[in-house]
């Protein structure tokens, strides 16, 4: 087998893997991303890390099916613990999980990031947790993508080591953390669709809280929602 069809979401992640990289895909499930990137001639090799038995076995059989056992090493374990110091991984991809889990994996495995030059992260929700982690840990966002597939909207965040605050210039820092500095600058149709929907959703919750008698003084949640609405409106 030398061809593999990837979802648009994972293809977007693959597009940012540096040419010739030896990368680690954490939470790899079927190892589609490592198989695809190597079959395409983009990556030189990969480690596919999986914590769960079923997806780990699926990754192993997919690698075998693609005849890539020489260049993809499937390992079972939690997050970056599957990486050894002599692995010489230069890029890490983590896709298809919540932003909070992705940040936790990076935080718990931060000791394994010394020689890594690029992170490609695809949160399904809560991208803000990742942006916060990147800022706190000296990683600079270099690109962001937003795509829609099967009626779901996904973000892809790409970071390299550098001044983490540099991309956060155009809008307020808080608004850029929430919506994404590159995405907010570009304001693509998908971006507008996502945040218009989110804005309407937040406003309807606020209305319900108001009808139930929650006011600025009585509810922390109410205040947080009002704040988020202001941040979104600042960019839209
Ligand atoms: C929804 S799947 C996404 C698979 C693939 N990355 C993708 O984007 O299509 C998430 C995978 O991450 C794995 N996972 C969750 N937490 C993990 C962790 N701490 N370390 C390694 N794998 C993890 C799950 O077992 C699951 O197979």
pTM: 0.96
31-77 per-position pLDDT tens digit: 999 999 999 999 999 999 999 999 999 999 999 999 999 999 999 99
- For a substitution probing ligand 1, which of 8, 25, 27 has the most ligand atoms within 8 Å of its CB? 27
51 lines ligand 1 (CB under 6 A): yes
Domains annotated on the chain, with CATH: 8-168 (3.40.50.150), 190-235 (no CATH)
CA of 13, closest atom in ligand 1 = 8
Do 92 and 26 meet the contact criterion of CB atoms below 8 Å apart? yes
29 lines ligand 1 (CB under 6 A): yes
The token pair at 146 is 């937003």
Nearest CA to ligand 1 atom 12: 27
- Can you state the angle between helices 220-235 and 189-211, rounded to 10 degrees? 150
125 alpha carbon – ligand 1 mean position (Å): 14
CA of 55, closest atom in ligand 1 = 27
104-159 per-position pLDDT tens digit: 999 999 999 999 999 999 999 999 999 999 999 999 999 999 999 999 999 999 99
Three-state DSSP at 226 gives helix
């Amino acid at each position: 087998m030398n061809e593999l069809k990837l979802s648009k979401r994972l293809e977007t992640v693959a597009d940012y893997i540096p040419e010739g990289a030896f990368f680690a895909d954490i939470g790899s499930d079927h190892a589609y991303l490592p198989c695809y990137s190597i079959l395409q001639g983009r990556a030189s090799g990969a480690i596919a890390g999986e914590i769960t038995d079923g997806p780990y076995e699926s990754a192993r059989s997919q690698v075998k099916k693609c005849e890539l056992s020489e260049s993809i090493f499937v390992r079972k374990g939690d997050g970056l613990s599957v990486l050894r110091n002599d692995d010489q991984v230069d890029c890490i991809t983590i896709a298809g999980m919540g932003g909070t889990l992705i940040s936790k994996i990076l935080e718990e495995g931060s000791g394994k990031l010394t020689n890594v030059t690029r992170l490609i992260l695809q949160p399904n929700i809560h991208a803000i947790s990742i942006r916060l982690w990147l800022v706190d840990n000296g990683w600079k966002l270099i690109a962001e993508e937003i795509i829609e597939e099967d009626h779901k909207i996904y973000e892809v965040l790409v970071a390299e080591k550098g001044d983490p605050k540099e991309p956060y210039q155009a809008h307020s820092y808080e608004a850029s953390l929430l919506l994404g500095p590159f995405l907010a600058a570009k304001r693509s149709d998908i971006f507008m669709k996502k945040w218009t929907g989110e804005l309407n959703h937040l406003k309807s919750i606020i209305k319900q809280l108001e009808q139930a008698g929650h006011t600025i003084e009585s509810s922390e949640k109410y205040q947080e929602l009002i704040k988020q609405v202001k941040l979104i409106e600042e960019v839209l």
